[in-house]
C-alpha cells in the first residue's frame, strides 16, 4: 500500500520508498524488521520501541494514515542524527519489489492436503 508524502514519488530515495511500501498501520513490527533488513535501522529493543512510538505518533497526528510517512521520515532523520541520503528509488520500484519478496519469504508455507 503506497502512501503519499510531501516528497513526490519521482524524487523518493530508498528510505522514503521503503516507508511508503511497507504496511505501517497494519504491521509496524514487520515494517521495522524490513527497515532493519534494508539497513535503515539497527535492530535493538530500544530502537524498535522508539520506531513503534514514532509510527503511532505519526499515524495519530494525521487525519488519515496517508500523510504519516512525511513526519515519520523527519523524525527518523532527526533521531539518527546522521547523513540521511540514500540511493534514489523513484516511484519505489526497487523497494516495492524487495517488500514483496520479503513478504513471500516470511509467509509460512501452507501444508498441502493429502
pLDDT digits (tens, 9 = 90+) for 8-66: 888 888 988 999 999 998 999 999 999 999 988 889 999 899 899 988 888 887 765 55
Q: Is the pLDDT of residue 7 over 90?
A: no
Residue 12: its pLDDT value, please?
87
pTM, to two decimals: 0.76
**SS3 state at 94:** helix
Domain of residue 98 covers 9-106
Residue 107: its pLDDT value, please?
75
Question: Residue 2 domain-assigned?
Answer: no
Q: Which helix (H) or strand (E) holds 37?
A: helix 28-38
Question: Residue 114 domain-assigned?
Answer: no
Number of domains, the chain: 1
Opening angle at CA 59, ends 56 and 63, nearest 5:
150
Question: Residue 14 domain-assigned?
Answer: yes
Question: Residue 41 domain-assigned?
Answer: yes
**SS3 state at 42:** coil
pLDDT grade, residue 101 (50/70/90)?
A: very high
Smallest CA-to-CA distance from 19 within 58, 61, 72 is with 72
Average pLDDT over residues 67-80: 75
Amino acid at each position: 500500500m503506497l502512501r503519499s508524502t510531501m516528497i513526490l514519488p519521482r524524487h523518493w530515495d530508498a528510505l522514503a520508498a521503503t516507508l511508503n511500501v511497507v504496511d505501517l498501520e497494519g504491521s509496524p513490527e514487520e515494517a521495522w524488521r524490513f527497515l532493519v533488513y534494508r539497513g535503515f535501522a539497527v535492530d535493538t529493543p530500544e530502537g524498535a520501541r522508539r520506531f513503534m512510538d514514532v509510527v503511532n505518533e505519526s499515524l495519530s497526528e494525521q487525519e488519515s494514515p496517508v500523510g504519516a510517512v512525511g513526519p515519520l521520515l523527519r523524525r527518523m532523520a532527526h533521531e539518527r542524527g546522521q547523513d540521511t541520503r540514500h540511493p534514489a528509488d523513484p516511484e519505489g520500484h526497487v523497494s516495492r519489489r524487495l517488500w514483496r519478496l520479503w513478504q513471500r519469504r516470511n509467509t509460512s508455507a501452507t501444508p498441502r492436503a493429502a
